């Protein structure tokens, strides 16, 4: 009888056994459904279906011509004493967004200078003009289908 010394060994053994049990037999047909990361929330929605601050941020960034910079930069928000940060590269290290994209990140919520940023971001691929929203600092994304070019 084999004994395991830690929960990690038991978990690793269980994962290996379940992977073998779930593997299709050689030559068996496999599913061809499109696989999406678990962190992309479906369905994609128009900006009007997102919280109001998302539509507002889209307008701010569009007014600033979706700037691009090497580092995060604070931009003044028109007719206010607030700033909003963005334009720097989002590297998509988690792989949640399509691998073919080149992304820039933009804050959603303007803030007074010197205040900490919150977790909401827009991530945009300037090549395709596709915009994604994350409310929880890149853990989950939802694609914005229209209204936020």
Is the Cα torsion angle 79, 82, 88, 94 positive or negative in sign?
negative
- Asked if residue 121 lies in contact with residue 53, where contact means CB atoms within 8 angstroms, the answer is no
Strand 73-76 to strand 103-107: parallel, antiparallel, or no bridges (unpaired)?
unpaired
At residue 98, the pLDDT reads 94
Could you count the other beta carbons within 10 Å of the beta carbon of residue 103? 19
Three-class SS of residue 46? coil
Chain-centre distance for alpha carbon 68: 18
Q: Identify the architecture of domain 47-144 in CATH.
A: Roll (3.10)
In 3D space, the residue among 146, 128, 121, 119 whose CA is nearest the CA of residue 44 turns out to be: 146
- Asked if residue 123 lies in contact with residue 116, where contact means CB atoms within 8 angstroms, the answer is no
The residues of the chain scoring below 70 in pLDDT are 1-38
At residue 35, the pLDDT reads 42
In angstroms, the CA 132 to CA 3 distance is 48
**Helical residues (DSSP H) of the chain, grouped into ranges:** 7-22, 52-63
Is the Cα torsion angle 48, 53, 54, 57 positive or negative in sign?
positive
pLDDT per residue as tens digits for the range 107-116: 999 999 999 9
At residue 149, the pLDDT reads 78
pLDDT per residue as tens digits for the range 57-78: 999 999 999 999 999 999 999 9
Q: What is the torsion angle, in degrees rounded to the nearest 10, for the CA atoms of residue 121, residue 122, residue 123 and residue 125?
A: -170
């Amino acid at each position: 009888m084999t004994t395991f010394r830690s929960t990690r060994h038991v978990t690793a053994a269980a994962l290996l056994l379940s992977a073998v049990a779930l593997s299709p037999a050689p030559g068996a047909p496999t599913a061809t459904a499109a696989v999406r990361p678990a962190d992309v929330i479906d369905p994609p929605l128009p900006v009007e279906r997102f919280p109001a601050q998302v539509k507002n941020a889209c307008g701010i960034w569009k007014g600033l011509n979706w700037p691009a910079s090497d580092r995060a930069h604070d931009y003044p928000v028109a007719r206010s004493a607030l700033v909003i940060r963005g334009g720097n590269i989002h590297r998509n290290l988690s792989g949640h967004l399509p691998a073919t994209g080149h992304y820039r990140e933009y804050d959603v919520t303007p803030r007074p200078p010197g205040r900490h940023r919150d977790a909401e971001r827009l991530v945009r691929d300037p090549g395709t003009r596709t915009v994604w929203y994350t409310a929880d600092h890149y853990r989950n994304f939802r694609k914005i289908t229209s209204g936020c070019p």
